[in-house]
Amino acid sequence: MNVFLHDLNQAYSTGQLTINDSSLLRYLDYAAIEQEMPMTAASIFWHETLYDCNLDQSLQLPFDRYRLSDEHRSGRGISVSFNFGEDLSRAFLTYSSSNGITPEQLLLASYFAFLFKLTNGESDLCIGMNTDGRYKEELMS
C-alpha cells in the first residue's frame, strides 16, 4: 500500500509519475509482474488440499438453534467487528511479534482452537481468511 500511496501522491502533486531511483519498485511494476506469475502450481495445491472440504457442512455447536432448512443459507460469509481492551491488544501484539508470526496468524490459530474446543474436538475445520499474498515487504498493504 505504501508503494501505491507514494505513486499516487507523486502523480497527483506533479501531474506525472517519474522514478529517480531505478532500484525503487513501483506499484505499477509489481502489478504487472504479479499478473505474469504462474499460478498453476498454487491452484493445483489448493485444489488438492481443499478437495474433500465440505463447505456445506454445518458445525454442531452446543448452543446452536434448530436449522429449519438449508434453502435460507446464502453461502456468503459475514464480518463481525468488536474491540478488545488495550491490555489484551498489547499482549496479543507482543506475543505475535516475539514468536515471529503475524497477528492474523495468531488470530486464526486462536479461532481454530476455540472452534476445536467448542465442537468437542472437530479437527476438520475449513476456515477462510483473506491474505495479500505479497512476498516483498515494501508491497505489503
- 109 vs 77 pLDDT, higher one: 109
CB 48, CB 99: distance < 8 Å:
no
Q: Is residue 97 part of a domain?
A: yes
Q: Is residue 67 part of a domain?
A: no
Q: Is residue 82 part of a domain?
A: no
110 and 138 belong to one structural domain: no
Task: Specify the number of domains making up the chain.
Answer: 2
8 and 23 belong to one structural domain: yes
22 and 5 belong to one structural domain: yes
The answer on pLDDT for 135 being more than 60 is no
Task: Say how far apart CA 124 and CA 120 lie, in whole Å.
Answer: 12
pLDDT confidence bin for 121, thresholds 50/70/90? confident
The answer on pLDDT for 138 being more than 90 is no
2 and 36 belong to one structural domain: yes
105 and 140 belong to one structural domain: no
**Does the global pTM surpass 0.85?**
no
Task: Say how far apart CA 89 and CA 83 lie, in whole Å.
Answer: 9
Q: Is residue 109 part of a domain?
A: yes
Q: Is residue 64 part of a domain?
A: no
Q: Is residue 57 part of a domain?
A: no
Q: Is residue 73 part of a domain?
A: no
Q: How many CB atoms lie within 10 A of CB 129?
A: 9
pLDDT confidence bin for 25, thresholds 50/70/90? low
pLDDT confidence bin for 106, thresholds 50/70/90? very high
Q: Which domain holds residue 114?
A: 88-125
Q: Is residue 103 part of a domain?
A: yes
Dihedral (Cα; 129, 133, 135, 137), 10-degree rounding = -70
- 112 vs 66 pLDDT, higher one: 112
pLDDT in tens, 54-73: 777 777 777 766 666 666 66
Task: Say how far apart CA 109 and CA 103 lie, in whole Å.
Answer: 10
